[in-house]
Amino acid sequence: MTPALVRRAVREACVTATPITPLLRVASPLVTVRGLMKSFGHRRVLDGVDLDITRGAVTAIIGPNGAGKTTLNKVLLGLVHADAGRMAFDGVEVAGQIAYRARIGYMPQAARFPERYTGQDVLDLLRDLRGETTPRDVTLLTALGVDAFLGQPVRTLSGGQRQRLNAVAAFLFAPDLLLLDEPTAGLDPIASGILKEKIRRVRHDGCAVVITSHILSELQEISDTVVFLHEGRVRWSGPLAQLLETTHVDSLERAIACLMQPAIDVAGARS
C-alpha cells in the first residue's frame, strides 16, 4: 500500500471512529499514578508504583536494567494495561479511554519508521493520524537539519538522521506530555545540545517532560525531579537537589550509586 493510500485509510478510520464518552474531571497534577501493578507471567515488573508528573518540569526516570522503566512508559502511553492501580491525566481517570494519548509526544530509543517511506511521508502520516487542525511545532525541523533529507527514504538514512527525524516527530504536535527514551542516543554533540535546549524551552512553556536515560551526566543538566525505580518499586521520588543533599554527593551518578546500596535507606526523605 502506498503512503497516499495509507493516509486515506487513516482519515476514513478517524471519521468512522466511535465517539469517546466524556469523562468526569477532578483536580490533579498533569499525570498521577497510584498503586500501579503489572506482572508478566510470574514476574512482577511494577509493584505498587506511585508517581506524579508535574507540568513545567523535567522528570528523570532512572533505574538498572529490568527495573520497570520501559513497562512504566508503556503504561503511560496506553500500550500496556496495568493489572491494578489507577492513572489520571490532567485530572481525568484514563481507565478504558484513549483520548489523552493525543496530548502525548513519544520519542522511542529506536523509532521503527516504514523503511520505504520518505521522511516527509512519515510526518504526513503522523499529521493525518493526529488530524489536520492539530497545532504543530516545526522548529526542530530546521534546527536539526532534518529538512535537508526529508525527501530521502528512511532506509537510506544514517542512525543519527533517523534519531533527528524521531525527535522532530515527538515535538511536532506541541504535546502536553513528552516521553523521551534515550533521546540523545546516536546524536552528535551539536544535535544533542540543540535537543537539550529544546527540552528546556518546552519545559519553560509548561510541558511535562519525562526522560529515561543511562547518561546520568546529561540528566543532571536538565532534570528537575528524579524517580529511581528498582525491582518495580519507586525507591526515590523527589527534587534532584534534595537527592544530592540527602546522599551527600555532588553528582547524579554518585547519588544513584548510593541508592543502589542496600545498606543506605533514604525512603524517608522522599517528597
- pLDDT tens-place string over residues 210-262: 999 999 999 999 999 999 999 999 999 999 999 999 999 999 999 999 988 86
- pLDDT score, position 67: 92
Rounded to two decimals, the pTM is: 0.84
C-alpha pair distances (Å), 62 with each of 22, 72, 97, 226: 35, 11, 28, 7
Average pLDDT over residues 98-116: 92
Decide if pLDDT at 9 tops 50.
Answer: no
Domain ranges of the chain: 24-269
- pLDDT score, position 22: 35
- How many C-alpha atoms does 69 have within 13 Å on its Cβ side? 26
CB burial of residue 163 (10 Å; 0-12, 13-18, 19+): buried
| Percentage of the chain lying above the pLDDT 70 cut | 85
Phi and psi at residue 79, to the nearest 5°? -85, -20
pLDDT band at 136 (very low <50, low <70, confident <90, very high): confident
Rounded Cα distance, 101 and 194, in Å: 26
pLDDT, the chain, mean: 87
- pLDDT score, position 16: 39
Average pLDDT over residues 131-152: 89
**3-state DSSP percent of the chain in helix, strand and coil, to 5:** 40, 25, 35
| Residue-level length of the chain | 271
pLDDT band at 169 (very low <50, low <70, confident <90, very high): very high
Rounded Cα distance, 53 and 230, in Å: 18
Ramachandran class of 248: left when φ > 0, alpha when ψ lies in -120 to 50, beta otherwise: left
Contact 252, 217 (CB under 8 A): yes
- How many C-alpha atoms does 176 have within 13 Å on its Cβ side? 14
Q: Which CATH number applies to 24-269: 3.40.50.300, 3.30.2350.10, 3.90.580.10, 3.30.70.260?
A: 3.40.50.300
pLDDT band at 3 (very low <50, low <70, confident <90, very high): low
Contact 199, 58 (CB under 8 A): yes
DSSP reduced 3-state for 235: strand
Q: Which of 37, 21, 77 lies closest to 53 in space, CA to CA? A: 77
CB atoms within 10 A of CB 177: 22
CB atoms within 10 A of CB 211: 24
521503527: which residue's cell? Answer: 112
Q: Give pLDDT tens digits for 50-90.
A: 999 999 999 999 999 889 999 999 999 999 999 999 999 99
- pLDDT score, position 8: 54
